[in-house]
A and B are shown apart, each in its own frame.
Chain A
Amino acid sequence: MMHHPQAFHFLDQAGLTKPLLQLQTDPSLFVASAANHLLARLLTFKQPATTSHTTQGNGLTVPPNTEEEELAVTMATSPGSGRSVTMEILKHLESSLESDSHTQVLQGLRLLALTLPELEAPLWGSVIRRVLRPLEGLVLEGRGGGVTQPLMDVLLATYRSGPCDSRLVSLMASMLNSQNPSDAALCAAATLRLKTCPPDLRQKAVAVLLGPLQMVTGITLLDRPNDRHADQQIDHRHADQQIDHRHTDQQIDHRHADQQIDHRHTDQQTDQQMDHRQTDEDNRQTDTDQDRQTEGRSSLSLLLDHLNQKPSCISLLCLCVSSTPYITDMESSASVILAVVSLLRICNGHSPSTESKAPIGCSKASTNLIGCSKVQRCGLDSLASLNTCSGAVELVVEVFHVLLQYLQNPDSDPTVLQKTYQAMLRWLSVSAEPSSLADLVNEDLLPVLRKRVCDVRWEVRDSTLEFLGQLCACEALACTVTPILLGALCDQESYVRASAISALARTLPLPLSGLQGEAGNHTQEEAVSQLLDILSQDSEGFARRAVVQFFISWLKTHPSSSSSSSSSSLRSVLSLGSTDLDWEVKVHTLELVDDLMEETLPGHQETELWLVELGVVTALLNGLFDCDRPVALKACSLLLRLRDMVCPRSLGKGAMTTDDATATVAKVTFDLRGQVWEREVTRKLQEKRGSDWVRESREVGCDRLNGNRVSDGTDGAGSEACDRVTGESVCEGSVTVCEVLWSLGLEERRSVLSQSSDHVQNSPLSLLQDILNATHTSHAEEVIVDCY
């Protein structure tokens, strides 16, 4: 109801804000969440209009501008304007964030995260001004334990929705310093995904994420061993500066840097509050300076503890490794790839690398990872997206080896293998010289793929076949791969058969190198006949759908006119596909018809051939009278197109044109005997003829009519002469295509079909029927009158 101002006023006047605020902490999560959404809606419902958007650029370090002050005054003083609601919520929000209750803080943060993206200046500014301090409290005083994720959501929402602000950035930097490595990594991962991010903050996030990877794999990812440490130093003091991007050299004397910052602050700062905060922070900093050494060490041992426990180790590394694709702009992207490769090796039970520098304490971490398919999947995903970064080319072989290890490992999970294939494909395109990989593909990859095609698990067979199909597209391997694919056509699992067929379809555009000429054709013919068998006999829909799609791609590479065998295959596909039990098979068959029409129309020499002999018309009519609406709709629109192209309007009326081609088309007849829709079409034809006869007799009078009858009789197209009234010709079974097309009332059909199936329920007619059903039959007449 909150789309309506009345509802808002009702809530306001009835004083319902208070109970809503209470419901925010309801024990039921659903209620609490709904209350939060409603509150967010209330806050954003009636935002005071802003006169200019310049306020957005001011940031938060400046005092509130006049507009915001005005807003504050109005909100405080004019109850009933709706502002009081906003005021009340804001006050509550502020106190929630300062509360000691975990639920309150959590809900406050959630509300904030929901609201911030919707807010506009000046309300945005005033909200931020109110909550920034409590937020700082949460972050800096460490009260944010357990709410890291929502807290980070709020910070990111603030960052995205408003101007870049130093206090905000410093808060985000503090979040990255979290003592809990999981929390820190969570924040870092979120930070990296920001579109724009201050470089220093970004660097820090990178350090947080690469730290665990470095520790486990022993590959140096961070420039100096104490990098994370150095990063901690940037923290509060440099945060303010980060916006200016001036401070690029981390190595400059920190004390000196401090002076600079302070100096600048005194210059710029007019807000006393800020000065106060700065002093606070400087004090904190001196403390930290002294404890820095120990802190660095303890953060390291914290990380180690974290890695030694299986659940935390896995989630942390998943997060880290999933974020690596966002770190590729680094100079050391090659070592990032190496680290991911190394991690994948560890997961497979191999030692990370020969020159591993992993500390002893991490052997436990690596045992946590062995056989962990979650980390494996994350790693493979990342590896797949790392293929574009600099240095990838040199590492292709290394990457291939680890991917091969995964393919060869009998314990690899099917999902892991699937990801391995995806990564393999991406990396296959990396190699500068394809020939350098040819040996690798032939000697190492193909044997293992051959084995995987025989795997016990159908999922593996399925993804292997899919991969083989994709492999064919980028490598000239068709002659090796095609027999494997053909072998898989008789797999027991329908998904696998379907994948084999789809993969075969991918090999179609390739010349069958090595199998050219006779042998190649033979293979293809064999394949086609096997596919037709599947279409006619397979009990599962997936395989049959794949067959029809195979022929769709086949049509693209083999024009229908190319050979008699191909058109006979097409005929089989059309007749089998259009009478299939599966509606998707039928729709795909109609798509095939669509392609056929594209290819051959207009002006095809042998229209008769493809219209009738190929079974296009039959297939379309099968579709038209199908009980599945999508099929009928598709068939209907195709028929309409066909009618408009082949039988222009004039023909339908029985008149002749001078165009020879069209004339021939007009004469094309087909046999409808034995079709399920024979009766229906016959009836339509008779109706049509009847009405035409009546209309025409009205229009032109009897003379014309008689004349027409004579001419119709003589030109012999169809046998219209054989009485419109009796419909004798229809009984003979042969009718002209055009006449049928015009008699079916396709436009009307289309409009009925294009209405969704529930239009009946929503229509007044349905209501009427319901009313009628609900009443006693004795009063029926009365009700009908009423309803009328």
Chain B
Amino acid sequence: MYCLSGHPTLPCNVLKFKSTTIMLDCGLDTTSVLQFLPLPLVHSPRLSKLPGWVSKDSTINIEKELKVCAGRVFVDSQPEFCLPEKELLDLSTIDVILISNYHCMMALPYITEHTGFTGTVYATEPTLQIGRLLMEELVNFMERVPKAQSATCWKNKEIQRLLPSPLKDAVEVSTWKRCYSIQDVNSALSKVQLVGYSQKVELFGAVQVTPLSSGYSLGSSNWIIQSHYEKVSYVSGSSLLTTHPQPMDQSALKNSDVLILTGLTQMPTANPDGMLGDFCSNLAMTIRAGGNVLVPCYSSGVIYDLLECLYQFIENANLGSTPFYFISPVANSSLEFSQIFAEWLCHNKQSKVYLPEPPFPHAELIQTNKLKHYPSIHGDFSSEFRQPCVVFTGHPSLRFGDVVHFMELWGKSSLNTIIFTEPDFSYLDALAPYQPLAMKCVYCPIDTRLNFHQVSKLLKEVQPLHVVCPEQYTQPPPAQSHRSDLMLELQPPPMPYCRCSVLGLPFRRRWERIQLLPELAKSLVPSEIKPGISVATVSAVLQSKDNKHTLQPVPKPPPLPPSKKRKRVVEEPPELLAPKPLLSGAVPLEAFLAMLHKHGITEVKVEETAEGHILHLQAEDTLIQLEEDGTHIVCDDNEPLRTTLRDLVLRFLMKL
């Protein structure tokens, strides 16, 4: 297994399994954007007048690239993302890419485009559609506020070393790349082939891959990769909580030789229920006091649950008249897509479709004008906007998207509150360029993925022989070193990986399945050697094609050519001799000695060896070695004696 990403929840691993090369997810680490200045939608005097950064001794002159904002140094350029490792192996050799959920496919264009990739990408329909939305949104956010300048000098290792923290500590900066284009997205997504849960997909006849519901998001899946005798499970971003998606399918993960475990919760100490409650009460408290609430979030995923929770809560908390705005280039599609993927939803929501009712209650919020969605702050929104209100908008990193505008707008008033619900970014880092901030900040990260308690229960249930996981899961989180419950404790211990690790997975391929054609099977003569076990000898031709092996009857020699005129040398097919019979059984020493005695061989010296016995027939000067898997008769040019002895031995053995 080749590990191309070190981020535990945005994995990118390549598995070489039985002559196939399978990439498992291609997550894009977007935390790198926190090092960049926000991209304001409208001209911001504050951000445009920032002083450039000058090193103490003024030796480095990259004032244009680095700006000082709120006491911290940021890169002034279009934000860049940290890509999966591309040097570890040739990406063009990848046969297939398996996608587990739409958050874990954001690096797809970087992998499939301009690398010589010719394989297929497998994903479920909601994953593809919502993944497309997220990619389009990302491209839109970037292209809406183009920035000509591209900063590269600071990435020079010699210069970076001298920069202040946290720029100094940024890793893999050389792999950081600007966002892809919409053409790349379209081209990459055209390589996706749709699959459904439990659908068995054959890869070159050698491997079968199957997506299973993972319960984390719409269409999210875990994958089973198996041959006839080996099974690898890939668990990524799974959830056992009852939220909108179909529940997790656990039973199919049983009997795995190796289980690759990624995408556990990033907030092991924050219980999603408690956070959801906290979110609601903070929201209500702010609205009651006349303030606005800003919720930076992705345009799909937890937002559906947030809206559903608020749907129930706003009545209770007398917030019925407060408007909710959802602003994203893909807001409309996201809200509508969620309603049409009925088969991918939890049972409860599925059954609503038959009533018929929209599965998600946000439809009703929209109908009653409580929830309004806009593609951006420009246009209709600016005329209909009313305060106090609640705004859901991206991007959660606060570096680009409409959220930047609201930060500038509301940041100065202590009545307003920003509530972080996405766990991907440190909220303090996200807020850094906006300091000092009067607005209240509340951190309610909602991460429904498996926590350590749930995962240890799951592993107890499915009993994999070996577990492979990111190294982060093998020790308690650095900030809470006393919490030994926040790590994986398994027997045998899990195999940790980090970026650029290459792991040999701990299983050996020992068996291969071979098919027997019916006509060949008919010709077999089994003989029972033990009750219930029969043995037969087979003479056949083994055909291996497309990683499938078949035993076929030996072709009959072609009839001799009728014409004698055109005599030519015909390659004789190999002569087909009846195979020698196979022997089985053991030669019992006492009985054999008795038999020798009967045949007049009396002077026998028996010597015990590690493997069996050596019988020395002293009169004949002959040795008989009786071993577990063979018998040797060593006699000096006395063929009759050898034959006699051989026949004696054969009397004790069974012929097949």
Residues of A within 8 A of B (CB): 349, 351, 363-364, 366-367, 370, 409-412, 450-457, 487, 490-493
Contact = CB atoms under 8 A, between A and B. Distances in A.
Given A455-B281, A456-B277, 15 more contacts: A363-B482, A367-B483, A367-B484, A410-B275, A410-B277, A410-B278, A412-B274, A451-B278, A451-B285, A453-B285, A454-B281, A454-B284, A454-B285, A492-B315, A492-B316
A493 B288 CA distance: 18
A719 to B, nearest CB: 54
Interface in B307-339: 309, 313, 315-318
Interface in B274-313: 274-278, 280-282, 284-285, 288, 309, 313
B288 to A, nearest CB: 7
A370 B482 CA distance: 12
Q: Which of A411, A454, A487 has the most CB of B within 10 A?
A: A454
B280 A454 contact: yes
Given A366-B482, A410-B444, A492-B316, A454 B274 contact: no
B271 interface: yes
Nearest to B289: A450
A456 B480 CA distance: 29
Nearest to A360: B484
A452 B317 CA distance: 12
A455 B282 CA distance: 8
A370 B484 CA distance: 11
Q: Which of A456, A491, A493 has the most CB of B within 10 A?
A: A456
A462 to B, nearest CB: 13
Contacts of A367: 483-485
A680 to B, nearest CB: 44
By Cβ-Cβ distance, the 7 closest A-B pairs, closest first, are A410-B274, A367-B485, A411-B274, A454-B284, A410-B278, A454-B281, A351-B482
Contacts of A349: 269, 480, 483
Contacts of B277: 410, 455-457
A347 to B, nearest CB: 13
A409 B288 contact: no
Given A409-B274, A456-B276, A456-B277, A370 B284 contact: no
A450 B286 CA distance: 10
Nearest to B276: A456
Nearest to B278: A410
Contact of B484 (A363, A451, A490, A492): A363
A364 B484 contact: yes
Interface in B478-527: 480, 482-485
Contacts of A453: 285
A351 B483 CA distance: 8
Contacts of A351: 480, 482
A363 B484 CA distance: 7
Contact of B288 (A364, A410, A454, A492): A454
Contacts of A456: 276-277, 280-281, 309, 313, 316
A492 B313 CA distance: 10
Interface in B393-440: none
Chain A at the B interface: SS class: loop
Nearest to B316: A492
Nearest to B275: A410
Q: How large is the interface on B (under 10, 10 to 19, 20 to 34, 35 or more residues)?
A: 20 to 34
Contacts of A493: 316
A266 B348 CA distance: 82
Contacts of A487: 288
A409 B277 CA distance: 11
Given A451-B285, A454-B281, A454-B285, A410 B484 contact: no
A155 B284 CA distance: 57
Contacts of A409: 274
Contacts of B480: 349, 351
B4 to A, nearest CB: 33
Contacts of A490: 318
Interface string B142-168: 000000000000000000000000000
B427 to A, nearest CB: 15
Contacts of B271: 410-411
B317 A454 contact: yes
Contact of B485 (A370, A457, A491, A492): A370
A367 to B, nearest CB: 4
A412 B285 CA distance: 19
A386 B278 CA distance: 31
Nearest to A484: B288
Nearest to A349: B269
Interface string B261-277: 00000000111011111
23 contacts: A349-B480, A351-B480, A363-B484, A370-B483, A410-B275, A410-B277, A411-B274, A412-B274, A450-B285, A451-B285, A454-B281, A454-B282, A454-B285, A454-B288, A454-B317, A455-B280, A456-B277, A456-B280, A456-B281, A456-B309, A456-B316, A487-B288, A492-B315
Nearest to B288: A487
A453 B281 CA distance: 8
Contacts of B284: 454
B487 to A, nearest CB: 10
Contacts of B280: 454-456
A350 to B, nearest CB: 8
Q: Which of A351, A409, A410, A450 has the most CB of B within 10 A?
A: A410
Contacts of B317: 454
Contacts of B318: 490
A76 to B, nearest CB: 63
Nearest to B315: A492
A375 to B, nearest CB: 15
Q: Which of B270, B273, B284 has the most CB of A within 10 A?
A: B284
A599 to B, nearest CB: 37
B315 to A, nearest CB: 7
A457 B274 CA distance: 10
B424 to A, nearest CB: 20
Nearest to A412: B274
A160 B62 CA distance: 87
Interface in B71-109: none
A452 B280 CA distance: 10
A451 B482 contact: no
Nearest to B485: A367
Contacts of A450: 285
Contact of B281 (A370, A412, A452): A452
A776 to B, nearest CB: 60
A41 B132 CA distance: 82
Nearest to A370: B485
A412 B281 CA distance: 14
Contacts of A454: 280-282, 284-285, 288, 317
B653 to A, nearest CB: 58
Nearest to A492: B316
A451 B278 CA distance: 8
A59 to B, nearest CB: 52
Contacts of A364: 484
B82 to A, nearest CB: 31
Contacts of A451: 278, 281-282, 285
Contacts of A452: 281
Q: Which of B273, B275, B313, B316 has the most CB of A within 10 A?
A: B316
A367 B269 CA distance: 12
Contacts of B483: 349, 367, 370
Nearest to A371: B271
A450 B285 CA distance: 7
Contacts of B275: 410
A498 to B, nearest CB: 16
B490 to A, nearest CB: 15
B434 to A, nearest CB: 22
Contacts of B309: 456
A412 B483 CA distance: 19
Nearest to A452: B281
A491 B318 CA distance: 8
Contacts of A411: 271, 273-274
Nearest to B318: A490
B257 to A, nearest CB: 30
